[in-house]
């Protein structure tokens, strides 16, 4: 292949695998030539080939951009996005009149697909989970053997099982939640196919297309994309060290007071927030619950990182007693990502509605692995496993922070939990493409913003950024960009 064909093929592969999201801008011809150490004419030839393949489009005086494919533009997701009328506030968010329709779709495909990229052997800084060798244990296989005697295996394999999920697991979860001061009976708990499924059940039960939902920003990229696909109007609420910006929440609620468009739900990661690591303060939690009662909206609290969080951390569901709040968590982050076991705990008056949504989507959830998780909880194996992970993570966090600071980053949030929120000083969308050439997948800051605006921030995984080699490559590429 010629150099132009090689370069074109590399970009085409990234576009087709969604590592270059629709709407992404390619490097300028000059930048690309310098970056790839080829002549500008080679880059022009490569971009011409991408144009001919229909993968990119040229915009006058602006450059080359990744096109929406035919499948994407005709999909229900894109139709819903157009109908959703997703709104974002300006950076100051001082006046509700500043809200503007979003100019381009949220696209979390790069981050999601990156979770399944294996093969080059390098630790990935943008990874959203612990490395597999951190999670490895002997007790998981023992738990599965324990609950799969021939008689038991046949019994629960030939029936659908309990609609709410395995009763033994729900009892174990009820006891576990009591340990963090959340009072939920087994009848208030529904198991799900991971925490994301639980969040989706809540959205589908409480909201309909066109409804308004408040979401913390920065926030989980997949949550922005998922809500948009449901045709919902997203109101981003800036997240600070103590919690969400209460003035912005009140402003949204006042603007739509008495209207059908009033916010009906607030989505919050109150403990070890993704990506900042912030944890809610008691005073902020109290004020959020007052707003929820005053303006009549529900709160879904995503506590995905509960296993590595302090038990005494403030949780909205503990203060509210599951009246306006719905608690969501799971075991993918700490135990077994492929088991896909999550759950929610809800107010008694919402349980049957939520169960209907589960039954329509999945009927039931697999009993075998739920019984195994219950065994791990009851025998204390999960607790001891989580303690080991926390100790390992504390050490990794210290090393990663030191490397990040040494190589030119500044901390945008106090380090805590699995993720760090760091400022690189350069456009991290552009940096992500440069680092991809070296085999590293980043999580650029734009992915965590509702309108995907350019950002110099990025999320790093403390467990996978202890590698000095990565930071050396990072420093060279940022230096070239600052140039």
91 occurs within a structural domain: no
370 occurs within a structural domain: yes
pLDDT value at position 91? 31
Domain shared by 242 and 375, yes or no:
yes
Among 34, 52, 71, the domain-final residue is 71
Domain count, the chain: 2
Domain shared by 272 and 365, yes or no:
yes
175 occurs within a structural domain: yes
Domain shared by 235 and 376, yes or no:
yes
Say which range, 31-35, 103-107, 147-151, 181-185, has the weakest mean pLDDT.
103-107
- Per-residue pLDDT of 16-27, as tens digits, reads 877 787 888 888
What percent of the chain lies above the pLDDT cut of 70? Answer: 89
Rounded mean pLDDT, 149-169: 86
- Per-residue pLDDT of 20-52, as tens digits, reads 878 888 888 988 898 888 999 999 999 999 998
Domain shared by 67 and 144, yes or no:
no
Q: Say if residue 113's pLDDT is above 80.
A: no
Rounded mean pLDDT, 214-231: 90
Rounded mean pLDDT, 335-364: 95
Q: Say if residue 242's pLDDT is above 80.
A: yes
43 occurs within a structural domain: yes
pLDDT value at position 109? 59
Range of the domain at 33: 3-71
Cα separation, 107 vs 123, in Å, equals 23
Q: What is the CATH number of the domain that holds 17?
A: 1.10.10.10
pTM (two decimals): 0.84
Looking at per-residue pLDDT, the higher value among 217 and 14 belongs to 217
166 occurs within a structural domain: yes
- Per-residue pLDDT of 57-97, as tens digits, reads 998 888 899 987 544 433 443 433 333 334 443 332 333 44
Domain shared by 326 and 187, yes or no:
yes
**Mean predicted lDDT score pLDDT of the chain:** 87
181 occurs within a structural domain: yes
343 occurs within a structural domain: yes
Among 329, 351, 381, the domain-final residue is 381
Rounded mean pLDDT, 252-279: 93
Closest CA to 424 of 466, 472, 479: 479
């Amino acid at each position: 292949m010629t150099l132009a064909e090689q370069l074109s093929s590399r970009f085409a592969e990234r576009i087709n695998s969604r590592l270059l999201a629709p709407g992404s801008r390619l490097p300028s011809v000059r930048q690309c030539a310098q970056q790839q150490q080829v002549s500008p004419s080679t880059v022009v030839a490569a971009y011409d080939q991408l144009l001919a393949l229909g993968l990119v489009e040229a915009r006058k005086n602006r450059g080359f951009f990744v096109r929406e494919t035919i499948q994407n533009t005709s999909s229900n997701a894109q139709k819903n996005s157009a109908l959703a009328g997703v709104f974002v506030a300006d950076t100051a968010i001082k006046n509700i009149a500043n809200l503007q329709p979003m100019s381009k779709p949220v696209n979390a495909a790069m981050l999601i697909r990156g979770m399944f990229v294996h093969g080059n052997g390098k630790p990935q800084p943008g990874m959203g989970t612990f490395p597999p060798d951190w999670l490895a244990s002997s007790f998981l296989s023992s738990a599965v053997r324990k609950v799969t005697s021939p008689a038991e295996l046949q019994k629960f394999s030939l029936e659908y099982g309990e609609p709410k999920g395995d009763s033994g697991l729900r009892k174990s979860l009820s006891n576990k939640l009591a340990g963090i001061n959340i009072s939920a009976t087994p009848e208030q708990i529904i198991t799900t196919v991971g925490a994301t499924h639980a969040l989706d059940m809540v959205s589908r039960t409480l909201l309909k297309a066109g409804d308004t939902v408040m979401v913390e920003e920065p926030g989980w990229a997949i949550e922005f994309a998922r809500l948009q696909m449901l045709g919902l109007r997203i109101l981003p609420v800036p997240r600070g060290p103590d919690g969400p910006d209460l003035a912005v929440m009140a402003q949204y609620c006042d603007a739509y007071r008495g209207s059908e468009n009033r916010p009906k739900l607030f989505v919050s990661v109150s403990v070890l927030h993704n990506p900042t690591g912030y944890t809610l303060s008691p005073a902020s939690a109290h004020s959020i619950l007052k707003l929820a009662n005053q303006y009549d909206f529900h709160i879904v609290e995503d506590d995905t990182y509960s296993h590595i969080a302090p038990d005494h951390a403030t949780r909205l569901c503990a203060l509210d007693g599951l009246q306006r709040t719905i608690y969501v968590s799971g075991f993918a982050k700490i135990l077994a990502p492929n088991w896909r076991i999550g759950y929610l705990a809800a107010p008694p008056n919402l349980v049957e509605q939520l169960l209907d949504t589960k039954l329509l989507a999945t009927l039931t959830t697999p009993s075998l692995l739920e019984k195994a998780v219950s065994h791990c909880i009851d025998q204390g194996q999960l607790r001891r496993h989580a303690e080991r992970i926390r100790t390992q993570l504390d050490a990794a966090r210290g090393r990663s922070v030191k490397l990040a600071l040494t190589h030119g980053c500044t901390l945008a949030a106090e380090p805590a939990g699995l993720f760090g929120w760091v400022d690189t000083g350069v456009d991290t969308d552009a940096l992500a493409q440069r680092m991809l050439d070296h085999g590293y997948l980043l999580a650029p800051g734009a992915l965590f913003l509702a309108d995907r605006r350019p950002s110099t921030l990025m999320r790093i995984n403390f467990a996978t950024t202890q590698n000095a080699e990565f930071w050396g490559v990072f420093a060279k590429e940022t230096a070239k960009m600052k140039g």
